[in-house]
Amino acid sequence: MKKSVLILAGAAMLLSSCGSVPITGRKQLNLVSDSEVLQSSLSQYKNYMSSATISGEQAQSEQVTRVGKKLAAATEAYLKATGLESEISNFQWEFNLVKNDEINAFCMPGGKIVVYEGLMKLVSSDDELAVVLGHEVAHAVAKHSKERMSQQILAQYGAQAVSAITKGKSYSTQQIASKVYGLGANYGVMLPYSRKHESEADKMGLVLMSLAGYNPRTALTFWQKMSSASSASVPEFMSDHPSDANRIAAIEKDLPAIESEYATYINAGKQSTATKTTTTTKKKATTTKKKATKKSKRRK
């Protein structure tokens, strides 16, 4: 009898602890609070940044910040427009480029995003960088780390003990966080998300970069480039990430609907880029003309 009551209580707790992911609407398990997740992740992030070396590549650092801020602004505008304005307080966006030759980037809860210099060697445009940063911003918006922590708690203690665990979540959160945020996780991924989370972040990232005015179709060629640069092929069933082929196929499948729904934003971004290019070209032409005029006057 006592066991049945515990099971029912646990089931009720699980049902009441379900949330949904913005954009995709997928239901997810939430056994820890936003404040607990943000507090533990901020501590881990500060520890990492205290030992990391900020990149001296000024142009690339500015690019990471520029594209990141544009994506963050588009994300917050989306949250406001969809009645999720209260979620904005959970984010204190930060975009850093660090000195590391690995091809990698990661996101901590609250919008703390780090890009490695090694990844930037494959980035040839703002659109391509938006593919990476859009994916990382999506992890934060979808609260994948919070869901991962909840899954770890459930797996570790079992449904019968859920009600007991949630009374003293702080200790449990700290214990689980060390696994979820652990540095040096499998295959160099700082946050070992599941393949489901990675695929969801891919799709959400396409939407967010579209809202920011970037071309989502760039994702196809960029992930193909990433695949070619990969030095090791890890079987999908052993990895936290989907295989390159499956990832590219899924993106190709999602693109038509996303391009159709967010065409206005994408086209606005293209026009903005074209305007900037034209302006830059005119400035260069004017500068060249002025220099030529000065030389002509000197000759006279």
Sign of CA dihedral 195, 198, 202, 204: positive
DSSP for residue 125: S
User: Rounded to a whole number, what is the largest CA-CA distance in the chain?
Assistant: 106
Alpha carbon distances (Å) from 79 to 4, 33, 50, 141, 298: 41, 19, 32, 9, 60
Alpha carbon distances (Å) from 114 to 74, 82, 119, 141, 280: 19, 28, 11, 16, 30
Q: Which H or E run contains 112?
A: strand 112-116
- Other residues' Cβ atoms within 10 Å of the Cβ of residue 280: 10
Buried b / exposed e over 266-277, threshold 16 CB at 10 Å, is: beebeeebeeee
Residue 50, judged by CB atoms within 10 A of its CB (0-12, 13-18, 19+), counts as exposed
DSSP for residue 89: G
Rg, Å, the chain Cα set? 23
Report the candidate in 223, 252, 235 with the shortest Cα–Cα distance to residue 131: 223
Residue 77 φ/ψ region, left for φ over 0, alpha for ψ in the -120 to 50 degree band, beta for the rest: alpha
Catalytic residue among 117, 136, 198, 200: 136
State yes or no: is 136 an active-site residue. yes
**Number of residues that this document lists for the chain:** 300
Catalytic site residues? 136
